[in-house]
Structure 1
Amino acid sequence: MFSLRIRFRAIASRIQVLDLTAKDLTVKKLLTIAQEHLPRRLEKAISQRQDLEDLETLWEILGIDAVIALENEEGKLIRVGVTLLENEGKAQNIFYDMKGKQRTAVREKLNLEQFWIMVLKSKNFPEEDEWIDILYREIDQPPTASGCRLIIL
C-alpha cells in the first residue's frame, strides 16, 4: 500500500537504515532483473506506459517497498527487502511467492539476505522509536531457511 510505503521509507531514512539508493541498485540493474525474472510484470508496466527509467516504477515491478540495511547484534550488516501490507491474506500469498525460485533469484541478484513481509494497519502505524525496536528485534532473530519472514504487527 502506497501510504504505508511512504511512511515506512520516511522513518527508515530518518533512522538511517534505508538502502534503496545504494550504488549497486541502479536503474539498469533493476530493469535487467525485471526483464530476466519478472517479464509479465514488466510487460504490464510497459502496456500501462509506466516510466521504466524511474526507480519507483522498477521497485514496484519487483514488488519491494523498501530495502534496509541493519546491523545485527553480532555487528554484521544485513540487507533486507521489505514489503508492507494491510491485508494478512495478501501477505500470506506474497510470503509464499517470495519463497519461490523466481523471487529467490530476484532477492539474490539484489543481495538481499532476508525479505520481510510486514502486515500492519495504517491507523496502527508505529512511531519512529517503535520502528527502531521492531527492526532491531527482527534482525537479531535467526533467519528462516528461505530468508523470508512474515511479520504481523
Structure 2
Amino acid sequence: MFSLRVKFRAIASRIQVLDLRAPDFTPKRLLNIAVNHLPRRLDKAISQRQDLEDLETLWEILGIDAVIALENQEGKLIRVGISLLDNEGRGQNLFYDVKGKQQSAIREKLNIEQYWVIVVKSKNFPEEDEWIDILYREIDEPPTASGCRLIIL
C-alpha cells in the first residue's frame, strides 16, 4: 500500500531509523539481486519501462516497503525489512511468502536480519511516538527461527 509506505517512511526518517539509502544499497547491487532472484518481476518492470537505476523502483521490485536499523536492548544494531498492508488476510499470505527460500536469500544478500509484515489500517495508523514504542518493543522480542514476524496493529 503506497500511502502506508509513504507515511511509515516519513516517520522512520524523522525518528532516524530509516536505512533505505545505506551505502551498501546501491542501484547496481539491488538490480543484481532482482536479476538473480526475481526475474519475472524484473521483466514486468522492464516491459513497463520503469527506471531500473531508481532506488524506489528497485525496492518495489524486491517487494520491500522499508528497511530500518534498530538497536536492541543489548546494544546490537539490527537491520529489519518492512512490508505494510492494510488487510490481515493479505498480511498472512505475505508473511508465509517472506519466510520462503527465495525471500530468505534476498534478505541474506541485503544483510536484513529480521523481516516484519505489519498490518495496519490507514485510519488507525499510529503516531510517531507510538511507532517508537512499537518498533523498540518488537526489536527487543527474541527473533523467530525464520527471522520473520507478522505484526497486526
- Give me the TM-score of the superposition, normalised by structure 2: 0.99
State the Cα distance separating 1:90 from its structure 2 match. 1.0
Pairs within 5 Å for 1:91-110: 91-110=91-110
The size of the alignment, in residue pairs, is: 153
Distance 1:47 1:58 in 2: 14
Is residue 32 of structure 2 the alignment partner of residue 32 of structure 1? Answer: yes
Residue deviations 1:90-136 (CA, integer Å, cap 9, x gap): 11111111111111000000000000000000011000000000000
Residue deviations 1:53-74 (CA, integer Å, cap 9, x gap): 1100100010000000000000
2:36 partner SS: helix
Unaligned segments of structure 1, at least 5 residues: none
RMSD: 0.5
Distance 2:87 2:43 in 1: 26
Residue identity matched to 2:40: R
2:32 partner SS: helix
Distance 2:23 2:104 in 1: 21
Corresponding residue of 1:5: 5
Distance 1:72 1:124 in 2: 26
1:150 partner SS: strand
1:108 partner SS: helix
Distance 1:98 1:124 in 2: 24
State the Cα distance separating 1:85 from its structure 2 match. 0.3
Corresponding residue of 2:130: 130
Is residue 56 of structure 2 the alignment partner of residue 56 of structure 1? Answer: yes
Corresponding residue of 2:17: 17
State the Cα distance separating 1:88 from its structure 2 match. 1.0
Unaligned segments of structure 2, at least 5 residues: none
Q: Percentage identity across aligned positions? A: 82
Report runs of 4+ in structure 1 exceeding 4 Å deviation.
none
Corresponding residue of 1:66: 66
105-114 or 87-96, larger mean C-alpha shift: 87-96
